[in-house]
Amino acid sequence: MYETWTFKHKPKTLSEVIGNKEAIKKLVEWIKSWDKGIPKKRAAFLYGPPGVGKTVTVEALANDLKMEFVEKNASDYRTEENIKRFAGLASQYGTLFGRKRLILLDELDGISGKEDRGGLGAITRIVKTAMCPIVLIANDPYDPRFSTLRSLCLMIEFKRPHSREVAAFLKKICLKEGIEAEEAALKFIAQRAHGDVRSAINDLQALAQGKKKLTYDDVSWLAYRDRKEKIFDVLRLIFYSKTCDGAKRAISMSDVDPDMLFEWIYENAPYHLKDPHDLAEAMEALAKADIYRGRVRLTQDWKLASYTMDLMTAGVAMARKKTKPSGWIPLRFPERIKWLSKTKAERQLRSAIAGKVKRKCHISAKRAVEEYIPYLRIIFENNPEMAAKIADGLGLDQEMIVYLAGKPSKAKKIIGLVP
């Protein structure tokens, strides 16, 4: 059974929370002010980008102070009736054993418009009369809907922690998991997360789980990943949607290049569609999508792209018929993209050699790669004298000679013979 590291290694106390020391200090002081009576601001409004520790800070605070902790996602309790039933009663009455209570309403952004049916209004009224601390959390506190709440709450901003702090936390996780990780690898993951601790931990788990050692080469290809979108959310929407429209909506919420998204789906389909018949149907849909991708590239008829999108999203989603839920399944980065990243330097070098052959022999670069370079490698590996003359004629530099010779020792001999 897999366990997400974001849950397994979640901070239990405030001392373990990464960054935002000033925000945490402000929150603690506000909580302790309740010991002297009800403060002017009966609620604290925590805000900032996702993944920076807002929720875990409140949980750790309640744990440190031995408070009864009542937590709900506000987006799950949209209506006035539900909000009052949950938070209204909890905010007015004491606990059974006399412990202090702390109420958290998370994901306030999820309450929207007409669907609320008075949800935000109910929260506002509860905040005005609360007899215990209430904490509200949202990513964007300056949404016009929250204007009244802002005036009633103590506003506390959570900022993105420094990559240095994130890398240090990742190192602690690796030590607990028995993984020897290179500093450069952890630093790279932290920098790519841009302060999103949750994202960094997810990346670390996807890359390091099951390994004893994590190197920079294992993570460097992350540079090819587009972090503009929550690719994991997009993929889960595709694999677990009940309707075609639900799966196709993944395209509209994703800025990831369609070709890149195709690679993600292709890589992960076998792990999320366990039934052989379901997997076969999904692969058939992906195969057809790939055919249309090829037609688009060949003909530049972009009308065909819609067929590609429908097949790789709705086609895959509707393939799920007999596969049973099996708990949390980690999403894997596309091996093909990883391989392309690792071999990028080699491919660039090969293209550079092909360019020199192309100009000298008046052929296409493709033909130079496919027909000439294999023979050049045989010559450079077995005939240093001839290789030196060819290198001189083509104007190859030392790096190109090493690539063709295969071994530094052979390349050194060739370089010594070049006029």
Same domain assignment for residues 298 and 348: no
* pLDDT given for residue 162 in this prediction: 92
Nearest Cα to 78, choosing from 158, 150, 145, 156? 145
Structural domains of the chain, count: 4
Same domain, 218 and 283: no
Domain presence at residue 31: yes
Domain annotation covers residue 265: yes
The answer to whether 268 touches 239, Cβ cutoff 8 Å, is yes
Q: What is the pLDDT of residue 23?
A: 94
Do residue 113 and residue 150 come from a single domain?
yes
Cα angle, residue 75 at apex, residues 254 and 255 outer, rounded to 5°:
5
Residue 334 has a pLDDT of 79
Residue 261 and residue 213 share a domain: no
Say whether both 355 and 304 belong to one domain.
no
| Any domain includes 361 | yes
Looking at 338, 372, 395, the residue that finishes a domain is 338
Same domain, 178 and 208: yes
Same domain, 201 and 249: no
HEC profile of 277-294: HHHHHHHHHHHHHHHHHH
At residue 115, the pLDDT reads: 44
Does 1 map to a domain? no
pLDDT the model gives residue 73: 63
CB neighbour list of residue 148: distance below 8 Å, 6 or more residues apart? 124
Domain boundary among 141, 157, 173: 157
Q: What is the pLDDT of residue 338?
A: 67
**Which residues constitute the domain of residue 216?**
163-224
Asked if 121 and 182 sit in the same domain, the reply is no
Domain at 79, CATH number: 3.40.50.300
Global confidence as pTM: 0.54
Q: Is 202 in contact with 227 (CB distance < 8 Å)?
A: no
Give yes or no: residues 43 and 102 share one domain.
yes
Residue 14 is assigned to a structural domain of this protein: no
- Residues 314-367 have pLDDT tens digits of 999 999 999 887 666 777 777 776 666 666 677 788 888 988 998 888 888 888
CATH number of the CATH domain containing 205: 1.10.8.60
Assess if residue 6 is contained within a domain: no
For CA atoms 399, 404, 408, 414, give the dihedral sign: negative
The whole-number pLDDT of residue 227 equals 47
In a domain, 8, yes or no: no
The dihedral formed by the CA atoms of 167, 173, 178 and 180, expressed in degrees to the nearest 10: 0
Query: Along the 419 residues of the chain, how does pLDDT read in single tens digits?
Result: 446 788 889 999 999 999 999 999 999 999 999 988 889 999 999 998 888 999 999 999 999 999 888 877 655 454 455 555 555 454 555 544 557 888 888 878 766 544 444 567 778 888 888 888 999 998 888 877 888 888 899 999 999 999 999 999 999 999 999 999 999 999 999 988 888 898 888 888 878 877 889 988 878 766 544 444 467 778 888 888 888 887 887 776 665 667 888 888 999 999 999 899 999 999 999 999 999 988 888 887 878 888 898 999 999 999 999 988 766 677 777 777 666 666 667 778 888 898 899 888 888 888 888 888 888 888 898 888 989 999 999 999 888 999 899 888 888 889 988 87
**pLDDT tens column, 242-271:** 888 878 877 766 656 678 888 889 999 999
Q: What is the pLDDT of residue 228?
A: 41
Same domain, 199 and 139: no
**Whether residue 58 sits in one domain with residue 96:** yes
- Among 303, 338, 373, the domain-final residue is 338
- In sequence order, which residues have a C-beta less than 8 Å from that of residue 116 and are 6 or more positions away? 78, 79, 80
Q: Mark whether 132 and 183 lie in a shared domain.
A: no
Does residue 143 lie within any of the structural domains? Answer: yes
